[in-house]
Amino acid sequence: MEAILLVGGQGTRLRPLTLNTPKPLLPTAGVPFLAHQLARARSFGVRRIVFATSYRASMFAEAFGDGSAFGLSLEYMTEETPLGTGGAIRNAAQALTCGPDAPVLVLNGDILSGHDITEQVALHVSRGAALTLHLTEVDDPTRFGCVPTDEDGRVTAFLEKTPNPVTNRINAGCYVFTRSAIDAIPAGQVVSVERETFPGMIDAGELVLGYADRSYWLDVGTPAAFVQGSCDLVLGRMPSGALPGPCGEFLALPEARVSPRAKISGGTVVGPRAVVGADAVVRGSVLDADCVIESGATVAGSVVGAGARVSSGAVLRDAVIGDRAVIGAGNELLAGARVWPGVTLPPRAVRFSSDV
């Protein structure tokens, strides 16, 4: 089976992490985020994937090459100007080799999902659908595409980010298209599948199905969700064939140096050559390559970028520290604080609780 992987977004909600790295390539549980998606796709029978790229497009080929390391064949299609979700799918479809009646899997490059792709495809094929959407239930559906269905599983509407949702079932970002339905999307134009393609197919009477389940699902588009996703992978809450080590309270990557007196828990990743000093406390965090957490520092629910330093006595809670930044002793960064790459906060600076 062939698939299209949407990875063109700029990841603005994750800045400064995405200033130099596309969101789907951010280190997540020890490997680029997409490595987990590629491993899952391969486990469900996908053998060829076309990347729909735009932002820093060349970095994807540099990271994954021809895909042979994953047992896949990878192609890369780049939009010269962003074409929206529908335009990106249509542009990438030029590289597909399947016929008009074949199912094509479409994945979003910022979703962690434990649902059974084989079952979703089987439902699509058995019912002869034009499109089958993976649906999941969330507590707050106002932030997503709300998708009501009838008793036969047929999608009756697609309501993108409505303030008064009629159901808590939302678009979970994994689609199975019949190839001919993709070819019907206008080529070379900016098209939104959420606002144009999906509602248009429903209005035209085409068979659009919902495949609903309650398996693990997470949109990793925010710093808090990104950290949660990485920790859930390390803890084994979301299985992945790409995890570079056993599940546990923390994952230490090659050449990481962790003091036996440090307290590390909650699915923390300690990146390559990173250092965690004695009496440091690190809970549920992502420590990137070559960063240093000095003795006595506290890091919780946070991301510490490559080459950054958190000094003794500093406290981070739900913070994002950019590459090569230095957090001096005595600083306390809380509740979504972000420090841009290369910034130095001198010792005993005032408390920060917003972007720095």
- Supply the DSSP symbol for 349: P
What pLDDT was estimated at residue 230? 96
What pLDDT was estimated at residue 356? 41
Length of the chain: 356
Domains and CATH numbers, the chain: 2-219 (3.90.550.10), 249-345 (2.160.10.10)
Helix (H, G, I), strand (E, B) or coil at 267: coil
Residue 298 β-bridge partners: 281, 315
What pLDDT was estimated at residue 349? 47
Instruction: Provide the residue-wise pLDDT of the chain in tens; the chain has 356 residues.
Output: 899 999 987 778 888 888 888 889 999 999 999 999 999 999 999 999 999 988 888 899 999 999 998 899 999 999 888 899 999 999 999 999 999 999 999 999 999 999 999 999 999 999 999 999 999 988 887 777 789 999 999 999 888 777 777 788 888 999 999 999 999 999 999 999 989 999 999 999 999 999 999 999 999 989 999 999 999 999 999 999 999 989 999 999 999 999 999 999 999 999 999 999 999 999 999 999 999 999 999 999 999 999 999 999 999 999 999 999 999 999 999 988 999 999 999 997 444 444 44
Find the helix or strand (DSSP H, E) in which 118 lies: helix 117-127
Q: d(Cα 33, Cα 108) in Å, to the nearest integer?
A: 12
C-alpha separations of 353 from 17, 63, 260, 272, 319 in Å: 18, 35, 32, 29, 9
Residue whose C-alpha is closest to residue 36's, from 237, 317, 335: 237
Instruction: Tell me the pairing of strands 298-300 and 315-317.
Output: parallel
Spatial contact of 289 and 271, defined as CB atoms under 8 Å apart:
yes
Q: Locate 207 and state its tokens.
A: 């068979």
What pLDDT was estimated at residue 28? 95
What pLDDT was estimated at residue 215? 93
What pLDDT was estimated at residue 55? 81
Active-site amino acid positions: 161
Cα torsion at 194, 3, 64, 33 (round to 10°)? 50
What pLDDT was estimated at residue 164? 75
Neighbours of 58 (CB within 10 A): 10
Q: d(Cα 282, Cα 319) in Å, to the nearest integer?
A: 13
Q: Locate 275 and state its tokens.
A: 């250092």
Spatial contact of 153 and 210, defined as CB atoms under 8 Å apart:
yes
Find the helix or strand (DSSP H, E) in which 201 lies: helix 198-203
CA 193, 110, 307: angle at the middle one, nearest 5?
145
Spatial neighbors of 192 by CB under 8 A, at least 6 apart, are: 84, 85, 86
Residue whose C-alpha is closest to residue 206's, from 155, 159, 172, 170: 155
